[in-house]
């Protein structure tokens, strides 16, 4: 599995669904549909999305860190 980071390409709002799709090997569209369907259930889905948006680093920041480490 790849490291969890929000991609710079293919994101709609924050890139959280695209990052999760890359991590678990599904399409971003599938992950977005799953998220929208989960919003019909009670729970903190939007708060979790916002928290992941804040916590997950952007892919370009992860690549810059890897380049500076070399």
Domain assignment of residue 25, yes or no: yes
Domain assignment of residue 49, yes or no: yes
Domain assignment of residue 8, yes or no: no
Domain assignment of residue 55, yes or no: yes
pLDDT in tens, 9-31: 878 888 999 999 989 999 999 99
Domain assignment of residue 44, yes or no: yes
pTM over the 0.85 mark? no
% the chain with pLDDT above 70: 89
Instruction: Give how far Cα 34 sits from Cα of 14, 19, 39, 57, 65, Å.
Output: 16, 14, 9, 22, 32
Give how many domains the chain has, as a whole number.
1
Maximum distance among all Cα pairs of the chain, rounded to whole angstroms: 46
Domain assignment of residue 2, yes or no: no
What pLDDT is recorded for position 1? 47
């Amino acid at each position: 599995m790849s490291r969890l980071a929000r991609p710079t390409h293919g994101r709609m709002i924050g890139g959280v669904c695209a990052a999760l799709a890359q991590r678990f090997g599904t399409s971003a569209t599938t992950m977005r549909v799953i998220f929208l369907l989960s919003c019909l259930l009670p729970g903190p889905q939007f708060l979790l999305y916002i928290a992941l948006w804040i916590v997950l680093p952007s892919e370009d920041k992860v690549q810059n860190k890897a380049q500076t480490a070399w």
